[in-house]
């Protein structure tokens, strides 16, 4: 009987610990381009958004930020057509670089950064 009562008391404790997730701030950042480039990314509603960016200089930055739960999928890709340009895409979680990719003068390949928001 004691084991049965102890088991019933532990069930709510186990269930509440398993469901704990916290929100993380995710930032997509694109830099280093000197001409137009295209981006596709998953937004905070898990919708794939397509956008074109026309920077004025290599110092211009494109940024998208949102809050999401740990374990959620994050994804961004980009491409450009100007052989004299470059592109650097970063994925930051809580202000720290989680993943990044960069290229210069490579107009044939897509830059893809994806992953899962890490658990603490």
In the chain, where are the structural domains located?
20-116
| Beta pairing partners, 73 | 116
| pLDDT above 90 (res 86) | yes
Using CA atoms, how far apart are residues 9 and 37, in angstroms rounded to an integer? 57
pLDDT band at residue 19 under the 50/70/90 scheme: low
pLDDT tens, position by position, 21-70: 799 999 999 999 999 999 999 999 999 999 999 999 999 999 999 999 99
How do residues 64-76 score in pLDDT, each as one tens digit? 999 999 999 999 9
Spell out the residues 6+ positions from residue 66 whose beta carbon is closer than 8 angstroms to its own.
Answer: 25, 26, 43, 44
Q: Is the CB of residue 32 less than 8 Å from the CB of residue 86? A: yes
C-alpha 64/C-alpha 34 separation (Å) is: 19
Q: What is the CATH number of domain 20-116?
A: 2.60.40
């Amino acid at each position: 009987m004691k084991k049965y009562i102890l088991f019933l008391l532990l069930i709510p404790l186990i269930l509440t610990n398993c469901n704990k997730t916290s929100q993380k701030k995710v930032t997509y950042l694109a830099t280093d381009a000197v001409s137009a480039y295209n981006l596709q990314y998953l937004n905070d509603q898990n919708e794939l958004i397509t956008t074109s960016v026309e920077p004025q200089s290599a110092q211009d930055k494109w940024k998208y930020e949102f809050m999401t739960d740990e374990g959620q999928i994050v994804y961004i890709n980009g491409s450009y057509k100007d052989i004299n340009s470059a592109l650097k895409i970063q994925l930051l979680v809580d202000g720290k670089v989680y993943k990044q990719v960069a290229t210069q003068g490579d107009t044939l390949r897509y830059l893809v950064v994806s992953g899962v928001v890490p658990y603490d």
